[in-house]
Structure 1
Amino acid sequence: MQVMIVGGGLVGAAAAVAARQAGYPVTLLERGRSPLAGDAEPGWDLRISSVHQNNVEWLKQLGIWARVDETKYLAYEGLSVTSRDGQCVDFHAAEVNQPQLGVMVENNALLRAMWSWLSEQSQVDLRADTQVQSFDLAARKLVLQDGDTLPYDLLLGADGGNSAVARAAAIGMRGWDYDMRCLLAIVETEKALAPATWEVFREQGPYALLPLGEQLACLIDYRAEASWRAVTTEQVEQALRETFIPHIGAFKLHKQASFPLRRQRALRYHDERGVALIGDAAHSIHPLAGQGVNLGFIDVQVLLTKLAEQPLSQALRAYERQQMRVNQQMMRAMDAIHWGFRSEHLLPRAAIAVGLGAVAQIKPLKQQIIKAAMGWNMGWKK
């Protein structure tokens, strides 16, 4: 079975690795330049993922993790959540007898590791700087802008929220903008940082810290769209200092950027003409808990498991049934957190206070939440 993947980002490249290791010939098409073009940047890029431990173990099994630049990832052992009323709950890997909850990793470093592995394999056709001109889903082939016609048996759309594969298959989308922007900033701190991530909720939106090194972190600040859209670097730095210095002390800002938040989901995950959507092409989620790439990696694992167990058409239907349910549950949970923790109303705030209090006091419940944060609650495995 020839597997064609449109979109060579983290989820598409991971699908290519997993599909090839399952024995399928693979073609991977990427519009942008190859991640292997040029040398890796010495400093951290702003695009960072929190990969939960279950997916880290999967990447190790694929032989990818050993290729990731060791200076571009950091294991974290704890996380904490503070409500807008000041109630805080801490979670630690040691509470479930594990050394870590997951890893903060630079997207580019992980992507280079995947493409490096793929570039060494036979029966893998890697094509960067490549655009699809047209899709013929009935004939199961596509035509590139350079005129090449490529046949396939299975076409995977891993090409993001504005998926050309989804449009070709007439798969509709539903979603909305949150009218908020997420600002990311790489900073160097004077004080040493613990290997733990934390998030604080407030009326205008939460703010968080992702540890990248002993004195290096990614600061995240969610605010209304207008707050971050047209600000100078000096204004950003001043706002970050007011927010974060009470928590981490003085720091030096290295780089920053912001992006708008949007929620979107595909109305179907597959088409009977041998098409499946994975990752952001199927579901774009609020980045609140860093679950976006994790959900995409689970999509890949579930899809490959179903393909190993059933004929193609049945496998695609089974994949859609399972992952649409799982991903929509996660999307609803993120929305509930987003709106509930910011609410002005006493009832949801009281419910949050009771819930956090219960989590702090009931050990089995807390352990289940920690296991969920590590990805152990994904029903296909464990």
Structure 2
Amino acid sequence: MTEFWKEHSKDATVEEMMLDSRAKELTEYELPEILSMLPPLAGYRVVELGAGIGRYTSHLLTKAAHVTAVDFMESFVQKNRENNGHHSNVTIVQADVTKLDFPQHSVNFIFSNWLLMYLSDEELKTLMEKMLNWLQPGGFLFFRESCNHRSGDSKRDFNPTLYRSEAQYTHLVSSLEVEAPQGQKFGFDVVLKKKVQTYVEMKNNPNQICWLLQKVPRSSETQKGFNTFQQFLDNQQYTRRGILRYEKMFGAGYVSTGGPSTTKEFVDLLNLKPGQKVLDVGCGIGGGDFYMAKTFGVEVLGLDLSDNMVEIASERALAEKLPTVQFEVADATKRTFPEGSFDVVYSRDTILHIDDKLALFRRFHVSHMNQSKSF
């Protein structure tokens, strides 16, 4: 791996770091998209792994209390120090992440962009366990990887990268568990998993995938034998086969009672206008979202905790050729958006499953809506 990056770090340019001749153009759109997925970082101690020349360092340090930026290539580290070393709240370190260590519970947020695909399976599992230990309870891990195949167009005489599937990463993070000295066990819950839309639109590449995870206590009372509620949904309640059976019962695009007729009745009350932005919480396989986009000309982001639901919905969006409808795997009780992101928040047959409904509605009101409505 060292030889590979020596070949691709001679001038420490953004093109070398991203292995792409369109790096500057991609960064213009990709960078704000990635930053919009992160939780609020005020007061946080942040560790950035695989920081490169500091493409994200310069933004993270404006939001966090302190950033430790780590990379193993000397030329990249030097460039990052030139660009960002004058800030009082940043420490820039040259180190191999597989040999790195931090005290337990000492970090609030870990950020990694295109790093894990350069680690072996054993190195990846070990680093994931370390990161889970480094994070404070309630802390977050964000990582973005190229899944399935390469993204950049740079010539490579050899390529040691491991292009894992989304499912491989998701299985690893959901099965991890560490034990604190007091005996309390912790694991990761998925806050969001989504494609980088910049790469979908500019390179027809749907394989750039981001995860935001939160460190949470693990109870001995598991979800019917599964580590997380999401695992229970995707492996028992909403298997892919089961979802398609529900669809046969309730109508194309729907997995709950009432199907398209109830959706039309509810949505028509919203007085939607072309160009408005709608957040659909518990979108299922997207029938209601496609109806809103086609009928009213709105943009829709559908959230669902079930990976299977979102996978099917995304396939349908591609077939429908509706770029104004996007989907992501997300926990609505933890997902945050900039204030005023949406004109309407819509949800059907979902909120009844959420215990703290008041907290959810506060999140809708404060974080999502600006002179808008929910239904």
Higher strand share: 1
Q: Relative CO higher for 1 or 2, CA cutoff 8 Å, sep ≥ 6?
A: 1
Report the TM-score, using the length of structure 1 for normalisation: 0.30
